[in-house]
Chain A
Amino acid sequence: MPNSPSPTQAPSRIPSNRSADTPSAAAMGQSTNNVPSGSLNPGDADVLARAQAGDHQAFAQLYSVHKRRIYSLCLRMLGNVAEAEDLTQEAFLQLHRKIATFRGDSAFSTWLHRLSVNVVLMQLRKKGLSLVSLDEAMEPTPEEGPGRSFGSPDLVLTGAIDRLALERAVAELPAGYRLIFILHDVEGFEHNEIASMLDCSIGNSKSQLHKARLKLRDTLRTQKRREERS
């Protein structure tokens, strides 16, 4: 299996040329929608530099550019407004403490997302939520092995999936799966970006995403079966 070199060191700018990283592709492999809105205007590099130099006004501007994206990430992961507000606050406070250390070897928006993901993960650990660690997820478990049967094709989830049912199913995922699913399928990050955010391999990110989708499918099919019975 081709294992591409670790992308963490490679400069990757989110907004520009996302298609250069991956071949043009079917929906599942590449998400083009919801591209993280890290797109900075030319003047934003200046704002960033001023914020790094301690300009409070510039920091406030950075906040207003990125607040929606970071708050939404927290809300998607925690499912709770009060916690999402606290975590957003914590993420930007950490940003304020660390901003001078940003070196520009990755896109600022990716760097900030990574920082925020860590804030979220820390909170989940504090709450003792199962993360299904990234390593653990790589070990095939018997019932999740590729050979398991997955029932009859007549239970295909064709057509529109009920959005609320899917959101509920996502909320039930183990936090580690949920995080990768949200980063990739909901927010549109690429596997190399996720791997660098989570310090894992690209293969690991792909495999976790796959397992997350399989679990969602199971949940939705179980629901559907129940509905058909009643």
Chain B
Amino acid sequence: MTGGPSKLSCAEFQAQMPELIGLGKDAATHPHVQSCELCRALLADLETIAEAARELFPSVEPPDEVWEHIDSAIKREQADGIEPGLTPHRQ
């Protein structure tokens, strides 16, 4: 980084945001954030969203029929001679 981080424009700072946040650094301590109300608000919003996300879409158990279907499909496939592991390895 040349020119000192505090001299960043909003555009330059925002271009760095994904990396800065993704590294797990506390972006709020960044000099640009400290001096820029807009970017501070943006950061706070994104934090609020990330926090709220943890409560979204609580995990659920599938109904028992799902296993019953899997179970009978497996037995059908085995009756047809398809054994586990014989499908070409594709990853």
Using CB atoms and an 8 Å cutoff, list the residues of chain A in contact with chain B: 1, 22-31, 33-34, 52, 54, 56, 59-60, 63-64, 67-69, 71-72, 75-76, 84-85, 88-89, 92-93, 96-101, 114, 145-147, 149-150, 153, 156-161, 163, 166-167, 170, 181-182, 185-186, 188, 191, 202-203, 205-207, 209-210, 213-214, 216-217, 220
Contact = CB atoms under 8 A, between A and B. Distances in A.
A182 B57 contact: yes
Of all A-B residue pairs in the complex, the 7 with the closest CB atoms, nearest first, are A100-B85, A25-B24, A29-B24, A206-B22, A185-B53, A153-B41, A210-B18
Contact of A203 (B19, B84, B86): B19
B25 A23 contact: yes
B53 to A, nearest CB: 4
A160 B48 CA distance: 8
B54 A185 contact: yes
Interface in B12-64: 12, 14-15, 17-19, 21-28, 37-38, 40-42, 44-57, 59-63
Given A166-B56, A181-B53, 13 more contacts: A26-B24, A26-B27, A34-B54, A60-B71, A85-B66, A89-B70, A89-B73, A101-B91, A146-B10, A159-B48, A163-B55, A166-B49, A209-B18
Contact of B25 (A26, A76, A186, A213): A26
The range of chain B's interface size is: 35 or more
Contacts of B55: 163
Contacts of B44: 156-158
Contacts of A146: 10-12, 14-15, 17
A68 B60 contact: yes
Given A60-B67, A186-B57, A30 B41 contact: no
A157 B17 contact: no
25 contacts: A22-B23, A28-B21, A29-B24, A33-B54, A89-B69, A89-B70, A98-B89, A100-B84, A101-B85, A101-B87, A147-B10, A147-B11, A147-B14, A150-B38, A153-B38, A153-B40, A156-B45, A166-B52, A167-B57, A185-B50, A205-B22, A206-B18, A206-B21, A206-B22, A217-B49
A188 B62 CA distance: 21
A218 B2 CA distance: 32
Nearest to B63: A85
Contacts of A64: 67
A99 B84 contact: yes
Nearest to B89: A101
B49 A29 contact: no
